[in-house]
Homo-oligomer: A and B are copies of this chain.
Amino acid sequence: MELAFGPRVAKSPYFDATVAAGVTHFSVYNQMYMPVLYGDPEGEYRRLTEAVAIWDVACQRQVELHGTDAAALAQLLCARDLRTQVVGQGKYAPVCDHRGRILNDPVVLKVDEDRWWLSIADGDLLWWARAIAAERGLDVAVSEPDVSPLAIQGPKAEDVVASMFGDWIRDLKYFWFGAAEIKDIPVLVSRSGWSKQGGFELYLRDGRRGVDLWNLVLAAGEPHGIGPGAPNYIERIESNLLSFRADTVDDCTPLELGLGRFMSLDSDVDFIGKDALRAQRDRGALPRRLVGVTLDDQPTGPNEHPWPASVDGRPVGSIRAACHSIRFDRPIALALIDTPHDVPGTVLDIDTGVGTRSGVVTELPFTD
């Protein structure tokens, strides 16, 4: 099916480079075209897990908080204690509403003492941040800056990035970053990215230079076998990396998604949703949980939509994202399943829309 291009959805600064590189499939993310495939799903998986891939993730937009109250607003928005965070450090932190429902799962970068970026998943978190800032009378400007991440992911990524920016990047801890320039292109270099294969993200700070930066990375990566890719559907399921909206529903909380370790419910900092999340935790039993599922032996491509799951004919949730795992050589899925049917070993009946199949609940992360 064709994707229509028009002015309502934005092109990334890397758009022309991705077309030249042979992108075949796009999705739309944060009102921006996001490349998702270059025509070779298994080859792109191998490149990511065995060598190095370059991804246009400009759609991972930044919500910038700038001003006297920037740190105060970041802390109100994020369900994690940010008080010890220093300039140059990033943290993965759920953002929730007043009822504890997850709104986003950004990486939060402290760019300067009075400047923070929330590097966001799909959604108008910009509006949420503006609402809170204005309602609380905070002295902070909330904007979307001209910043567009380019990801370099895979076991060879460090060598590629070091050859571009120097060996200092080898000392970056996970989610930490530093400012740099290459050929007069301003970037932040961060050790981060939406895979568990290791890698970096270059936060491009000048949208006019996207194709230039892409080509510099391609040239630097050529000795290491670099090639184009995209956030990898199979690898992220295998690695249990959350895909906001794919894995989530409107009213689920980070606790249900297994993100409790990224929250600071017992700290004395105040953030939106804290009371609701503490109450849910203290009740003991969650209404549902994100779990793994091992599917039966039928071939499993990506599911086009969530598949309803049932036990004894009663709805118990849904399969969110299914694939044939290359690493585990079996069909697996992430599923949001109502308790008590989230117990490992539970057998689910799954309605794929073109027939029923079965699956067995497993704990996350997946293991061999």
Give A291 Cβ to nearest chain B Cβ, in Å: 16
Interchain nearest-CB distance for A338 vs B (Å): 18
A131-153 Cβ-contact flags toward B at 8 Å (1 or 0): 11011100000011000000000
Q: Which residues of B contact A143 (CB under 8 A)?
A: 250
A20 at the A/B interface (Cβ < 8 Å)? no
Cβ of A122 within 8 Å of any chain B Cβ, yes or no, is yes
A312 at the interface (CB under 8 A from B): no
Interface-side segment among A25-33, A47-55, A105-113, A292-300? A25-33
Number of copies: 2
The closest CB in chain B to the CB of A322 belongs to B7
A364 interface contact, C-beta 8 A? no
Q: Is the CB of A6 within 8 A of B31?
A: no
Closest to A129 in B: B131
Known A-B contacts A37-B4, A306-B7; A134 and B28 likewise in contact (beta carbons under 8 Å): no
CB distance from A202 to the nearest CB of B (A): 23
Contact B124 A246 (CB under 8 A): no
Which chain B residue has the least Cβ–Cβ distance from A131? B131
* Interface locus among A8-16, A66-74, A219-227, A252-260: A8-16
A303 touches B (CB below 8 Å): yes
Minimal Cβ-Cβ distance residue in B for A127 = B128
For A103, list chain B residues within 8 Å (CB): 127
Residues of B within 8 A of A132 (CB): 131, 135
A245 within 8 A of B: yes
Give complex CA distance A97, B130 in Å. 8
Of listed A7, A122, A250, A303, residue having the most chain B CB within 10 A: A7
CB-based nearest B residue for A10? B305
Contact among B1, B136, B320 for A3, CB-based, below 8 A? B1
How far, in Å, is A364 (CB) from chain B's closest CB?
17
Question: How far in angstroms is the closest Cβ of chain B from A112?
Answer: 22
- Does A207 sit at the interface, judged by CB under 8 A? no
Assess whether B304 is in contact with A6, with CB atoms less than 8 Å apart.
yes
Please, which residue of chain B has its CB at the minimum distance from the CB of A33? B1
* Residues in B neighbouring A31, C-beta threshold 8 A: 122, 245
- In the bound complex, what is the Cα–Cα distance between A5 and B128 (angstroms)? 28
Contact A4 B27 (CB under 8 A): yes
Taken together as a complex, chains A and B put the C-alpha atoms of A196 and B25 apart, in Å, by 34
Out of B27, B124, B127, name the residue touching A9 (CB < 8 Å).
B27
Min Cβ gap A306→B in Å is 5
Instruction: For A305, list chain B residues within 8 Å (CB).
Output: 5, 7, 10-11
A–B pairs, 28, beta carbons within 8 Å: A1-B5, A1-B23, A1-B25, A2-B25, A3-B25, A3-B27, A4-B26, A4-B27, A4-B36, A5-B302, A6-B246, A7-B303, A7-B304, A7-B320, A7-B321, A8-B122, A9-B245, A11-B305, A27-B28, A97-B134, A98-B134, A99-B134, A123-B124, A123-B127, A124-B128, A127-B127, A127-B131, A135-B135
Interfacial residues, chain A to chain B (CB-CB below 8 A) = 1-11, 23-28, 31, 36-37, 97-99, 103, 122-125, 127-128, 130-132, 134-136, 143-144, 233, 243, 245-246, 250, 302-306, 320-321
**Known contacts A2-B25, A4-B25; 10 further A-B pairs (Cβ under 8 A):** A1-B25, A1-B26, A3-B3, A6-B27, A31-B122, A97-B130, A123-B127, A127-B127, A127-B128, A131-B135
